[in-house]
Chain A
């Protein structure tokens, strides 16, 4: 079907559906989360956001000259995402989690595995795999983030974007990123890179689902 973006969507669609239809994700989008579970989710998310740019940097450093535009794309993305972990910290503070607790937090094994895979894949295997990670994070943020932020806000009686600023704003930001990502994916022609991106997306969907299940 179509270009590589549609192929990526198709080859990873069941993994996306498995995330979307996991009972915890279903419940979170439909009814929000209890404050304790939302705290745990943001603490895990904080780890993912904090490691996003180092993973992108590892990928950019190994990106072959033939993928010059891709390297620039990663630079731009890193610049945009820089400091966003602070947004998560602000949301955590709004729901009663101190900076001290954030710093001392030990992530779930699933989160460590997700970050570890993304580092290893970008640094030791195919650097294009980083696009699989970006695809998953942007799908989750743009497609589910808005509904999730609304559900959490309603269930915890939060006012405005207080406590949900990271998720809520990324639902909008990542909507634009998605169109950019599709364009850049369309420039990649080698099959090995395609396979690496698909594998990465499958692993990321799997572990994000596990993180949701574990909180």
Chain B
């Protein structure tokens, strides 16, 4: 198979085969649209991270090619569930701090690219049309413009299983909303509506459901004519309230160390959350599924009542 040269401009950037991303190009705006689709559980899997980082690296290898980067989710009702909880669970059980740290570093490498995007001449916008939790919300916050559809909800649930969001949550919540809001959000584990996040300055624009695409188009087209000035201003903004890679990395180290001390109870809670994600990803109505289970169970009991005797152990 011919692998496209990533430095060969647009054809190289768009021709790469992706499993979890869908790329679109709008030439008049030099806009690269990345739609994420880590189905059925939209989260930061290792492969998903690798693909996203490849896109970001390709943009860096072609300076001046992309003026606008826009990210959204292709999965209905979910922007991103955050970290790969099964992978965390595996690494915690293996007591593998180094691998947890390396996973965290991969995440903050993406965060850092977004943090320094203006220096690369790229304006970044994210459209959130569904739930985004933990690392999913962290991944949203470094974007220059954050647009939420009204029904989208977000939060940092990590504290519920004795952990904290370690890939930029503190840095970006403090920068955008201040210490009090950061404390409240990260230490409570509560979920917030799009409107509540807007009131806390973590979201720039809330639009009605189904209006996200139109809002996106409006925002990009209003920024594009004054892009150079906007990007310089955003660099200045980041100088005024600096976040360093070293500080992000130190937080990842602390997070990895904290993850090692999770107890079986904490891991079980994490697994319950993972189960809830799975149910949500299934998209089916819970009530109906419960009913199907009842019918299946009735059928099973019925078999036993009609003469199959192995069931006695349950009696």
Contacts and interface: CB of A to CB of B under 8 A. Distances in A.
Interface string A35-65: 1100000000000000000000000000000
A151 B85 CA distance: 17
Contact of B275 (A1, A14, A147): A147
Nearest to B39: A21
Contacts of A155: 293, 297
A184 B45 CA distance: 26
Contacts of B274: 29, 147
Among B45, B308, B313, residue most surrounded by chain A Cβ atoms (within 10 Å): B313
Contacts of B91: 9
A94 B313 contact: yes
A144 B84 CA distance: 13
Contacts of A96: 304, 308, 310-314
A30 B278 contact: yes
Contacts of A112: none
A3 B98 contact: yes
A214 interface: no
Interface residues of A, number: 49
A157 B297 CA distance: 9
B278 A29 contact: yes
B188 interface: no
A67 B184 CA distance: 53
Contacts of A139: 90
B219 interface: no
Contact of B45 (A17, A32, A174, A181): A17
B104 to A, nearest CB: 12
A13 interface: yes
Interface string A124-154: 0000000000000001001110110011000
Contact of A13 (B46, B95, B296): B46
B170 to A, nearest CB: 25
Contacts of A93: 310, 313
A31 interface: yes
Contacts of B87: 9, 13, 16
A79 interface: no
Interface string B61-100: 0000000000000000000000010110111011110110
Nearest to A25: B278
Contacts of A9: 46, 87, 90-91, 99
Contacts of A20: 41, 86
Interface in A154-199: 155-157, 162, 172, 174-175, 178-179, 181-182
Contacts of A34: 293, 296-297, 300
Interface in A80-121: 93-98, 101
B272 interface: yes
Contacts of B90: 9, 16, 139, 142-143, 178
A175 B313 contact: no
A215 interface: no
A16 B293 contact: no
Nearest to A177: B93
B96 A182 contact: yes
Nearest to A22: B40
Interface in B279-312: 279, 281-282, 289, 293, 296-297, 300, 304, 308, 310-312
Given A143-B90, A143-B93, A172-B264, A30 B296 contact: no
Nearest to A144: B86
Given A31-B279, A147-B275, A101 B94 contact: no
Contacts of A30: 275, 278-279, 282
Nearest to B270: A147
A13 B86 CA distance: 10
22 contacts: A1-B99, A6-B102, A13-B46, A13-B47, A13-B87, A16-B86, A17-B84, A21-B39, A29-B275, A30-B278, A31-B279, A34-B297, A35-B297, A93-B313, A96-B304, A96-B314, A142-B90, A143-B93, A144-B86, A150-B275, A172-B264, A181-B94
| Top 9 A-B residue pairs of the complex, sorted by shortest distance between their CB atoms | A96-B310, A96-B311, A35-B300, A6-B99, A34-B296, A30-B278, A182-B94, A178-B93, A147-B271
